[in-house]
Structure 1
């Protein structure tokens, strides 16, 4: 099969790889679409993301969809032909975290495109059958792939407790900030305030449901008294200012990947009894993601701003530098 392989930082090489065989409990998927994530671009440019270091050739890509073409033992063969959105992880079913329902925190996780595990920028992948989620024909291949970043957003809004009475602040209007904005609208938030440095991103946030946008360089984030604050920027200044905008007993959710450490207004957190938590991937989110897309409450197709064939993966990985870029997708088959 064809595969776009990261052989060293800044260099993608097309290679022929063997088609993987589905193990018992697995399905074999012919990949159709793969979204480009910020972690992919970071591996491509720097060879690492935090403590995860690329030490051998690696296939990137974890936002993926395709069609089941074969199944392993103990999988219903009638699933062959299903169009699926891939939840790109293999937790250890026997770990304590998995048994507690927090399988995203499994210490033995094998996650697509996280060294040394290959990802989906290739023609075929295998995954546990329960992590291949059937999608209806009304959902495009691209939207099926983008159920992955949508799932990150779902994990964030769940932790933020967003509902029909919520006032929500989002910092960062990149792809995750945009899905969080759409989700806050879908969950009925009364006010959705989005802060971003870039004017085009602020206008994009309005089109996806923000009720107010801010340029933090000219409109500092004030004490808005929001119920929930979700950071999708990873910027220390944004996080500190956002925390100050939360009402007493409100919630702060950190989803943006930023500095290893940062200074926080601890007196505000303590005196207001704020609940502060992080988000690391997701668990049990795909049925919700698919339902939201199928119902039209979340529009993932509108987020796609560029498309590339597999042979142009390197261009796709650099496309985030193009003005107006939101989400690029690689069409594999």
Structure 2
């Protein structure tokens, strides 16, 4: 029977979020049509809703939000061979449009020409039906639920972060920020062999969740200087951490990360804050502390699926709220107020 309904979550501009019915999209060459099962709400989705922009990307035309999704294949476009109707898949939302030098070197996330769900001008996944490049749809094993599949996008951020932060067996790690990305970095760092992980945040509730899912130590940030926080980190660990994974974007945490990290270690900047940040650069330079950045992820989806399938990483405790798609606006409001950890929208329960 033909499908005519495609309820979608649309951002029109600052503060303007609507539920609308759009045409059901048809798959083109090397594409698949998906009935969306579960989509997580990211802070970037909230930012587009509240501000109508994110960084240099502006909403000029109404845009469907959502890029943390899993769905079921309902139709194959021409050329698709590795998927079948009925397959459940996780969707890697960003992929290069040209086979440029970054793609050839394996770092396709740095390609200057990218398609990315829920990034203007491209629609996202918060719909009943969505179409995506089949090569960036990864089949989920029976042991991985669709909710876990929707976690693979932010889990990929954490995998890429821990790789870039040089997390290794037996290392001590500082994570700044106990939001969803900080907590996922905690899970991944522990699974990669980190001996001890300390995580800091302003929120007592989030620190309690961090302790629940495996943090060895937690530190509530109060009226500290960056140097004070660094000293607290060293005190609980017994030495400076080998790596700091900074997930807030706050200047205070960037500075604290530099002061806290051991000589020869790594500070990885995951959180996106202001364009210009004051950094104790001389302190980092004379101690050979590497300050590294990252952008999204690459070559992580098979690893993330294997982690979930093997139960080496359990993301389920991070799900705090579930809503049917029809209650998306309520779900966005809860996310904006930071009342939970990860809010999931069940798009097949519209």
TM range (shorter): over 0.9
State which of 74, 79, 82 in structure 2 corresponds to 1:69.
74
Q: Does 1:37 align with 2:42?
A: yes
Q: Which residue of 1 aligns with 2:8?
A: 3
Q: Provide the secondary structure at the position in 2 that maps to 1:119.
A: coil
1:331 aligns with 2:346: yes
**2:263 aligned residue (226, 248, 273):** 248
Q: CA deviation at 1:319?
A: 0.8
- Report the counterpart of residue 230 of structure 2 in structure 1: 222
**How many Å apart are 1:322 and its aligned residue?**
4.9
Partner of 2:237: none
What are the superposed Cα offsets for residues 142-199 of structure 1, whole Å, 9 maximum, x if unpaired? 1100110000000000011112121000000000000001111111111101010111
Shift, 1:298, TM fit: 1.4
Alpha carbons of 1:90 and 1:249: their partners in 2 closer, same or farther (altered >3 Å)?
same
Q: C-alpha separation between the residues in 1 aligned to 2:332 and 2:183?
A: 20
From 210, 217, 233, the counterpart of 2:248: 233
Aligned Cα root-mean-square deviation (Å): 1.5
The whole-number CA distance in structure 2 between the counterparts of 1:53 and 1:246 is: 36
Deviation per CA, 1:194-227, whole angstroms, max 9, x where unpaired? 0101111111111111101111216632253211
The normalised TM-score by structure 2 is 0.92
Is residue 305–residue 325 contact of structure 1 (8 Å, CA) maintained in 2?
yes
Partner SS, residue 230 of structure 2: coil
Q: Which runs of 5+ in 1 are unaligned?
A: none
What's the secondary structure of 1:249's corresponding residue? coil
* 2:93 counterpart residue number: 88
1:6-155 residue pairs with structure 2 within 5 A?
6-76=11-81, 79-155=84-160
User: What is the rounded CA distance, in whole Å, between the counterparts of 1:118 and 1:317 in structure 2?
Assistant: 17
| Aligned counterpart for 2:334 among listed residues 319, 323, 326 | 319
1:236, 1:55 → 2: CA distance? 30
SS at match of 2:78: coil
- Are 2:175 and 1:170 aligned? yes
1:303 paired residue among 318, 323, 342 = 318
Higher mean displacement: 304-313 or 187-196: 304-313
Determine if contact 1:90/1:127 at 8 Å carries over to the other structure: no
**Distance in 2, Cα, partners of 1:314 & 1:278:** 33
TM-score, structure 1 normalization? 0.96
| Corresponding residue number in structure 2 for 1:261 | 276
Task: Could you tell me which runs of 5 or more consecutive residues in structure 2 were left unpaired when the two chains were aligned.
Answer: 1-5, 235-239
In the aligned structure 2, how far is the partner of 1:3 from the partner of 1:113? Answer: 12
- Which of 179, 191, 197 is residue 196 of structure 2 equivalent to? 191
DSSP-derived class of the 1:222 partner: helix
